[in-house]
Structure 1
Amino acid sequence: MKNINRLLALSTLASFISGCASFGKGIAEAYFEKQETADTRVCEVFGRPFKGIMPYLENPQGKMKVLMVHGVGDHLPGYSTQFVEKLAKELQLNVRAKRAKNIALTDPLDTSKKLGNLRVQRLLNKARTKELLFYELTWSEITAKEKAVLAYDNSGEYSFRRAQVNDLLKKFSNDTGPDPIIYLGDSREDILIAFTQSFCWMINGKWQDLPDGVSQGCTFDNPQAVNNLHNDQYAFISHSLGSRITIDGMQRIAAFFGDSSFRPELKRPRELVQALREKEIPLYMMSNQLPMLQLGRKLPEVNGQKDAYCTPGGSHYNDRMVSKTSIIAFSDPNDLLSYAVPQGFVEKYLDSRLCIDATNININVATIFDAFGMGKMANPLDAHIGYDTDDRVVAMIAQGIGNGHTAKIVNEKCSWVETID
């Protein structure tokens, strides 16, 4: 009887503890679910209105072409798939080519170099009246050999000694941390050649003209390039280190077109240079790191002279690279690796020949929650990688803000403060 009473007591205690655990779990789940029901995430736009990609899709004379450049960490071709699918849905492009085209990038002056991959997708609407060519640059192959120096640290010989979570964090650090350091070294030139080659392929032909499954260099002396530059529209999308690569790549192209002694073996037709000077190219930056990656670098060759290069009648107006580069910088304040692009930074640290105008967007892509009264917090990793899956970000890239076709979600969820000179 005594043993039976003990069993009953233990059963009652176990039920009580289990009930308390379930009750506590229920409270916690209800607490966080309650916070998630109300989306209070910030979306604040400071800058000029911009159109997005949509208005340029229906162009009987040319095509809309977008290049995406990834950031730190190893990437494989196809990394942009989720973003492309969300963008296509926002743009109502529900027809696509059966397969993407892939070009193994190389240097036309040294075809032994392996400079990554350019993946191209063709997206259309059902009526075939709208078309988008989406170019995805994967440059990880360039840094992979140097990052292999740390491969031993990810092996079982070392990783098993760490706590599981710490081991995951160390592998993440080994994957992402070296890239900005490597970029400051000798590999930087190859990465910028990969960007230049990607831009060259963008302007050199239509979908049917692009090669597939080959390693091939691209040059700017293609007779079609001038007409394509006149008729096509272009945009860049970048993430983290990709923003620095894109700006540096554009500055490198400016140097190439402006200095015949730079890689003199390659031709640069005068008509092509002039056609490029008439273009306006938007650059959508996600988790922009330009200010941090400027540390320790020299100033660009041409800086602080925007009026001279970008204002009609300016003393160097005919030496500009493009008519205008619109930077649209998305930054989550809780992203530890993202920075705004203030106008003072643009004028001092970015090449004046790019005629840059910046719009800054403070946007919480990660959910902010109250950690049981200890303060509000957001997962910094989610804040760093969540841009390309955020509906508001995708909608602004697709349809802009401050115009007649701005997406409903942007009008409802984002505030806009227009800036003027």
Structure 2
Amino acid sequence: MDSSKLLQTAEQILLPIFSGIDAQVKQNLGRVLQAFRHHRVGVHHFAGVTGYGHDDLGRQVLDQVFAEVMGAEAAAVRVQFVSGTHAIACALFGVLRPGDEMLAVAGAPYDTLEEVIGLRGSGQGSLREFGIHYRQLDLTTAGTINWPALATAITDRTRLVLIQRSCGYSWRSSLAIADIEKIIHLVKKQNPDTVCFVDNCYGEFVADQEPSSVGADLLAGSLIKNPGGTIVAAGGYVAGRADLVEAATCRLTAPGIGSSGGATLDQNRLLFQGLFLAPQMVGEAMKGNYLVAQVFQQLGYPVNPLPTAPRGDVIQAIQLGSAEKLCGFCRAIQQSSPVGSYLDPVPAPMPGYDSQLVMAGGTFIDGSTAEFSADGPLRPPYIVFCQGGTHWTHVALALEAAIAAVETASN
């Protein structure tokens, strides 16, 4: 099959969708610019401090800008968060206390949260080891939220509801903002004091609102995903109610220090600039996702989301059906990457994951899934998850190699 012609056809089909994405990028960028203007961001905010990080004006203003962009009361953007999982864990440990219950409402959480919760591993201080109870509502057979079960699921001890926006490594649709709003409404109707916490990883700027704007009490994410705009070197964020943000930062630092500590290590300019670039980078990633879905559905593979379906995050899943195809696909993506194209991704254990993973990511920021990458757990039905992309045209070029690799593995 001529992959070049296949891609050209897919691009023509997707032109109206690409135009709609551009319109949304403009809207989201306007929101970011308004926050920059409102808080009078200037070059003096790019300077950072060392040591304890006290009285860092740039960090304080960035927190205010980020909170406004997220539609939240407060935010803490910190390079000391080593990952999205770390930011989420700080939020959970900051809010939950022994005897409380956490309820996951979108099925099983992402693999890296299993040891945080205590579903795997022991002796490392999981939520379960601190006497925090965990319960989850499984998805329906159609892969959707079990709305009837959720309507009666909240009890007096349900302190926090975990809403995972992204599909993670599961074959389900990611949650739209309307879904998150409905979840929050049903939870608050049963118990207004239950904290609605959103794992916002991969979802920032995909829609024209963020979960805080529809009632989420707290959210967290990674800066080497969407909101870092592909240039932030490390970090994460929490945003939401001011008291809950402070509680989360007290887990990051220490009680009594909270959000007042944390040196920015001369990263303020990149943090501001990454936020400015983020809407555009997310738009490019979404275009790449639509292209991946369109092409591989035409090749006969199950894809999720479908090529014309609305997006809840910047992840596109393809069910390849064999370990050989999964490894071949990832190898092709790695060879089409700007960094480390000579490397050969092979399945290997990864800290925090239950299965071996094969990961392709020749990215300028190590592990950045805002740049184009692909990975998947080595387990049936051998699904590859594509994320990010600074240019949809880069995704198109990489797809030509991926198509050839999958076809070779089929022979």
| Global fold match (TM > 0.5) | no
TM-score calculated relative to the size of structure 1: 0.25
TM-score calculated relative to the size of structure 2: 0.25
Considering Cα pairs closer than 8 Å and 6+ residues apart, tell me whether 1 or 2 has the greater RCO: 1
